[in-house]
């Protein structure tokens, strides 16, 4: 079991490890710059090196993921916005590599009505440029991949299905530095029902056939304030939404998924995940393992 949480990074980033530890998270996710402004946070190399050393030595927090700025849009037909998005993603990845992050999660953006097929070559070029132009990780620091996150499916957003994400990866030549992060609320909002073992089996098959199960690196673990198929991005605390604890358990306990980091992005009491949210997620994970153990016995 590896239940994580999105926490605040702080000026030196190291306080984020303590914040995760305090609520019982075994992985964390942070923003390395404001998620809603273009201005990058500039860290001295020694700050990022110190974080990497602290992460490696930490007794309970096993992984740190970074989330790229929300403003990034690699599908935009606006050349100025595309260039800003490109530069920002490259910077976010440079920081993630230097600090030894397990991945930088990114929303691809929206084609703004031009259509996915029209935007696809531009998106692939942008991803490859970021991967090639970002500063390399220091010697001995593991590779930090870009993790493409699925979307809730509103408007012209890109990545609403694993087929779209798979098409992006294909257009990038199946580059091994591109991986996938699955957000449970976005998946639910886009219409995918994973709330039963059969539904979770179908999810595994869909991921494997479209992007390759080996690319699935982590989950964003969220209940949903809205109904399945609503195409709205609205996170809820575990068992306070339309998926429910049992529905999440069916996904969390699946043998192909249960050992992956599952990062809470829930509101808590409007200040992010709490220790009680981590405990609820752990309860859902245990319930999921029970479901599949009973299923194996029955079969």
Q: Mean pLDDT for each consecutive 10-residue tract of the chain (299 residues)?
A: 93 94 98 90 93 96 96 96 96 97 97 93 97 95 96 91 97 98 97 96 97 97 97 97 97 97 96 97 98 86
CB atoms within 10 A of CB 117: 9
For the chain, which residues make up each domain, given as ranges? 3-298
Query: In this predicted structure, what is the pLDDT of residue 10?
Result: 77
Query: In this predicted structure, what is the pLDDT of residue 50?
Result: 95
Q: Which residues contact 223 (CB under 8 A, 6 or more apart)?
A: 184, 185, 235, 236, 237, 238, 239, 240, 241, 242, 243, 244, 248, 266
CATH 3.20.130.10 fits 3-298, yes or no: no
Measured over all CA atoms, what is the biggest interatomic distance in the chain, rounded to whole angstroms? 58
Cα separation values, 136 from 3, 92, 94, 133, 140, Å: 29, 12, 7, 8, 11
Query: In this predicted structure, what is the pLDDT of residue 9?
Result: 83
Query: In this predicted structure, what is the pLDDT of residue 14?
Result: 95
Chain CA centroid to CA 210, Å: 17
H/E stretch holding 279 reads: helix 275-298
87 is written with which tokens? 């530069």
The C-alpha atoms of residue 34 and residue 181 are separated, in whole angstroms, by 20
The C-alpha atoms of residue 248 and residue 108 are separated, in whole angstroms, by 25
């Amino acid at each position: 079991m590896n239940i994580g949480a999105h926490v605040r990074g702080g000026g030196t980033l190291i306080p984020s490890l303590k914040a995760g530890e305090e609520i019982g998270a075994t992985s964390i996710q942070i923003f390395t710059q404001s998620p809603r402004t273009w201005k990058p946070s500039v860290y001295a190399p020694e700050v990022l090196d110190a974080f990497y050393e602290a992460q490696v030595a930490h007794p309970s927090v096993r992984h740190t993921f970074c989330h790229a700025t929300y403003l990034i849009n690699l599908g935009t037909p606006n050349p100025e916005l595309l260039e800003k998005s490109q530069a920002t993603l490259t910077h976010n990845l440079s920081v993630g590599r230097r600090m030894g992050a397990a991945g930088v999660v990114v929303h691809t953006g929206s084609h703004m009505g031009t259509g996915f097929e029209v935007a696809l070559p531009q998106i692939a070029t942008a991803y490859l440029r970021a991967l090639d132009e970002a500063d390399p990780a220091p010697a001995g620091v593991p590779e930090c991949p870009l993790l493409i996150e699925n979307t809730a499916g509103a408007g012209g957003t890109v990545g609403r299905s694993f087929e779209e994400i798979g098409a992006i990866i294909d257009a990038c030549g199946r580059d091994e530095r591109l991986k996938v992060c699955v957000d449970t609320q976005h998946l639910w909002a886009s219409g995918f029902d994973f709330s039963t073992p059969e539904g979770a089996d179908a999810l595994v098959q869909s991921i494997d056939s479209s992007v390759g199960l080996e690319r699935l690196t982590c989950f964003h673990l969220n209940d949903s304030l809205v109904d399945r198929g609503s195409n709205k991005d609205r996170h809820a605390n575990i068992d306070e939404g339309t998926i429910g604890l049992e529905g999440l358990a069916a996904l969390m306990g699946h043998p192909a998924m249960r050992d992956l980091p599952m990062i809470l992005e829930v509101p808590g009491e409007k200040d992010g995940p709490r220790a009680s949210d981590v405990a609820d997620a752990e309860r859902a994970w245990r319930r999921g393992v029970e479901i599949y153990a009973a299923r194996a016995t029955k079969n």
